[in-house]
Amino acid sequence: MCNNTIEYFLQRSIDIAKENCLSLNGGPFGAVIVKNGEIIAECGNSVTTTNDPTAHAEVNAIRMACKKLNTFDLSDCEIYASCEPCPMCLAAIYWARIPTLYYAADKHDAKDAGFDDSFIYEEFDKKEEDRSINIKHIRLNTTSTPFDEWKKMSNKIEY
Amino acid sequence: MCNNTIEYFLQRSIDIAKENCLSLNGGPFGAVIVKNGEIIAECGNSVTTTNDPTAHAEVNAIRMACKKLNTFDLSDCEIYASCEPCPMCLAAIYWARIPTLYYAADKHDAKDAGFDDSFIYEEFDKKEEDRSINIKHIRLNTTSTPFDEWKKMSNKIEY
């Protein structure tokens, strides 16, 4: 894939990000998923209009691409994002098995515009007990765990 | 909230995780969101049945709770998870502003059952260029960025 094509898709993610905030659909973020040089999905952030805090541009685009391709595995796709993905979106890219990511702005630009991306990245670097969320690990006594059941199953669909 | 109540909701997340895999709905994970001592949402993982790699139990429960409460802000809720949230779900908990998280199994148990949670946590600790995903930061020359537009807007809904 030549550089012009990469820049074309990255510019498309930026244009979507601008349109997305100016149309009041959500935050100033856009993402594009491409397979074989063709756009499969393109989405803006829709947190505020769908009341879904997980509806970031990258997550929306992954959901749309998977629906379109009828799979939960996007290992033959690339993703282009107007901004460096937050930890939720980066992990979603791993779970979707997308092997290639291009992004334009970075998490410092996002912070400067009032978004918590870099705060959450900093929280990830802290020990559990030092985080702003009150997190408690409680191991209950149970006869079998969900993982015990999973490991015994012969008809499970792995992912 | 007394410990018995915490254990009750945590056990409920474990029961959902077991039912979820045995019914072939998805992976062996469950999550419960509670507000004022009442369960607002409870969900299993549905990655394979909905073809959505982001449909982890915690993300599903956050989306369900937000829909039910008509908000993207769950700062008055707690979340109980059958297993330590993966980075995607942990970041989703931050974005949903949930201040309290209880979990039962941990990421090492998840790894032992074949799930990539700890792999993704390890990837987060690496420099961008050392990660298994090919990541490229390309800053394009544009007259204005999406963040410039966002900062100028007076009618935006912040989140």
| Cβ-contact B7, B15 below 8 angstroms | no
- Whether B141 shows a pLDDT value over 90: the answer reads no
Task: Check if A58 is active-site.
Answer: yes
Residue B142 has what pLDDT?
79
Size of interface A-B (CB pairs under 8 A): 265
Instruction: Give the pLDDT band of residue B3 (cuts 50, 70, 90).
Output: low
- Taking an 8 Å cut-off on Cβ atoms, the answer to whether A18 and B70 are in contact is no
Residue range B49-70: mean pLDDT, rounded? 98
- Taking an 8 Å cut-off on Cβ atoms, the answer to whether A22 and B142 are in contact is no
Instruction: Give the pLDDT band of residue B79 (cuts 50, 70, 90).
Output: very high
Residue range B93-102: mean pLDDT, rounded? 98
Catalytic residue among A7, A42, A58, A84: A58
- Taking an 8 Å cut-off on Cβ atoms, the answer to whether A87 and B84 are in contact is no
The Cα A17–Cα A82 span in angstroms is 7
- Whether B119 shows a pLDDT value over 90: the answer reads yes
- Taking an 8 Å cut-off on Cβ atoms, the answer to whether B72 and A84 are in contact is no
Residues in chain A, pLDDT under 50: 1
Residue A19 has what pLDDT?
97
Torsion (CA) B116, B119, B125, B126 in degrees, nearest 10: -120
Residue B88 has what pLDDT?
97
Average pLDDT, chain A: 95
> Which residues does chain A have within 8 Å of residue B134's beta carbon, measured at their own beta carbons?
99-101
Residue B2 has what pLDDT?
52
Nearest to B14 among A22, A105, A146 (CB): A146
Question: What are the pLDDT digits (tens) for A91-130?
Answer: 999 999 999 999 999 999 999 999 988 899 999 999 999 9
Angle subtended at Cα B159 by Cα A11 and Cα B156, rounded to the nearest 5 degrees:
65
Residue B143 has what pLDDT?
79
Residue range B88-94: mean pLDDT, rounded? 98
DSSP B76: T
Residue range B29-37: mean pLDDT, rounded? 97
> Which residues does chain A have within 8 Å of residue B72's beta carbon, measured at their own beta carbons?
47-48, 51-53
Residue range B86-91: mean pLDDT, rounded? 97
Average pLDDT, chain B: 95
- Whether B1 shows a pLDDT value over 60: the answer reads no
Kind of pairing, strands B38-44 and A134-137? Answer: unpaired
- Whether B154 shows a pLDDT value over 60: the answer reads yes
At residue B81, the 3 state secondary structure works out as strand
Residue A144 has what pLDDT?
87
> Which residues does chain A have within 8 Å of residue B25's beta carbon, measured at their own beta carbons?
none
At residue A5, the 3 state secondary structure works out as helix
In chain A, whose CA is at the least distance from the CA of B6?
A: A138
The DSSP bridge partners found for residue A42 are A32
The backbone torsions φ and ψ at residue A16, rounded to the nearest 5 degrees and listed phi first, read -65, -40
> Which residues does chain A have within 8 Å of residue B30's beta carbon, measured at their own beta carbons?
146
What is the Cα gyration radius of chain A? 18
